[in-house]
Amino acid sequence: MKSIENDKTELGKAHLTYGKLSLEEANVRLKQEGESEFPLSIFPRFIQNTILELYDNGNYNIDYTAVSILTALAGIIGNSYHLRKHIEWIENPSMWVVLVGKSGQNKSAPLKTAFKAVKNQQKQFDKEYEAAVANFDPDAGDKKPIKRKLYSTDPTFEALINMHKQNPNGMILMPDEFKSFILNLIGYSGTSKQSQFLSIWDGAPISLDRKEVESSSLSMPCVSIIGSIQDDVIASFKAKDIKDGFFERILFAIPLKMEKKYIQRKNPDDYMVEKFHTRMKALMDKVYENMGTIELSLSETAEVLFIDEVNKHVKPSNKDATISGILSKLDRYILRFALILEVSNSFFEGQPIKHITMDSMKKAIMLKDYFYVNALKLNNMVLNVYEDNSKEGKVLQVIKKIGKKEFTNKEFIQMADHMGIAKESYAYQLLSNTKLAHKVQKGVYETEILN
């Protein structure tokens, strides 16, 4: 019989490329080569197969699908499980995620697929609520029906807290326009809203006491957020970052290739995709059997692995403030990833959930590495597109050439064009987002770099 090592098939090539891995594992890596660096092995086999099927025959990006599914798992688990590192350090599984790409890169389809079970359950809750309202009789002493929400697209902060109170397990935010959502948080009046969301990410108790709204409190907020945005837009927002750690709390899915794909004539396998939805629904049903919170601890081997990994972050953090901000949040995300993977993988594999195992911690660290690389990619986008912090940056070159502490936007645009650096619209975009000059009045900017 001909040896598989000499086989010219895809499986044979994968075996030659990746050596001692099983052919199935090697085939997964071969499909991902040059397309994605997401560690698919963190998932059970049926999820891996679903992601690759959608990639092969559905025009789905591997990163977008994998990260969307991971976030859906986080949203489903919610407050049903927490991880207690020690008496003062408890993590819920919430994730804040942004899918970054070019326009037309099919970012919405993976979100739709990943959250189908959640949205179907929401439809069921809506039907139950409508039936309860139709049968509601206050004269008979009936309690007013409560509308239970699992997710929302664009709530006010007060509405989010009140919806969360009706669904203590947690909320998922999926803004239709993620650009508007972030702009609302970091705009001129967004600082207070931003700080409120920072408290939610931390899982800290929330209390709203205002004259214009009914007082409301939430002891255990657990809110996952996911949306998509174009690369140049998120880079412009990051350039305006007020350095309070908001952007460091966001996990970015940035594919190796940000490009539109050709549509395949073959459709994804219906049975495989439906099996995925069915199993996600089963996990959701299991979570809602018990609306309390179960706290898991790290196994001894998982704790050793976690401490070793976090300690590796100390030196690079001490050398660079930007790196420090990214890694400090990823240290906490490691625990969240481990929690999500332990609960979901144990359920799908029919295993009891006792504590966070070393296997889940290893996979969590793989995820940390993936999101760390993407955080650095985003920082490079800011430098490459807006170049505010680069010594050879376009903004700096233009301002130095103008040679005045105070200048108009017209002078900047004309000089940028004269130097061959940027045409009108791009030049104005550079100026609008730079940190090297600030607007003192309409059309007039001031800089300190010439002092």
For residue 267, count other CB atoms closer than 10 A to its CB.
Answer: 10
Contact 349, 267 (CB under 8 A): no
Round to whole Å and give the CA distance between 146 and 446: 54
- Residue 4: predicted pLDDT: 38
What is the Rg, in whole angstroms, of the alpha carbon atoms belonging to the chain? 24
Residues 6+ apart with CB under 8 A from 376: 326
- Residue 340: predicted pLDDT: 98
Buried b / exposed e along 222-252 (16+ C-beta atoms within 10 A)? bbbbbbbbbbeebbbbbbbeeeebbbbbbbb
In this prediction, residues 46-55 reach a mean pLDDT of: 94
Question: Does residue 346 have a pLDDT over 90?
Answer: yes
What the block records as the tokens of 156 is 């006010």
Question: Does residue 100 have a pLDDT over 60?
Answer: yes
User: For the purposes of burial, counting CB atoms within 10 Å of the CB of 214, is it exposed (0-12), middle (13-18) or buried (19 or more)?
Assistant: exposed
Tell me the average pLDDT of the chain.
85
State the pLDDT confidence band at 202, using cuts at 50, 70 and 90: very high
State the pLDDT confidence band at 427, using cuts at 50, 70 and 90: confident
In this prediction, residues 1-27 reach a mean pLDDT of: 52
Task: Convert the pLDDT of each residue in 105-139 to its tens digit.
Answer: 889 999 999 999 999 999 999 999 999 888 888 87
SS3 category, 440: strand
Q: Is 177 left (phi over 0), alpha (psi -120 to 50) or beta?
A: beta
Question: Does residue 2 have a pLDDT over 70?
Answer: no
Round to whole Å and give the CA distance between 380 and 235: 9
In this prediction, residues 168-185 reach a mean pLDDT of: 86
Of residues 60 and 425, more confidence is placed in 60
Q: Which of 378, 108, 72 is nearest to 250 (CA)?
A: 378
Percent of the chain clearing pLDDT 90 (strictly above): 51
Of residues 180 and 412, more confidence is placed in 412
For residue 17, count other CB atoms closer than 10 A to its CB.
Answer: 12
Task: Convert the pLDDT of each residue in 211-231 to its tens digit.
Answer: 555 557 788 999 999 999 888
Of residues 120 and 28, more confidence is placed in 120
Contact 30, 18 (CB under 8 A): yes
What the block records as the tokens of 371 is 């999101």
- Residue 8: predicted pLDDT: 47
Task: Convert the pLDDT of each residue in 359-375 to its tens digit.
Answer: 999 999 999 999 999 99
Q: Which of 116, 115, 77, 64 is nearest to 360 (CA)?
A: 77
State the pLDDT confidence band at 241, using cuts at 50, 70 and 90: low
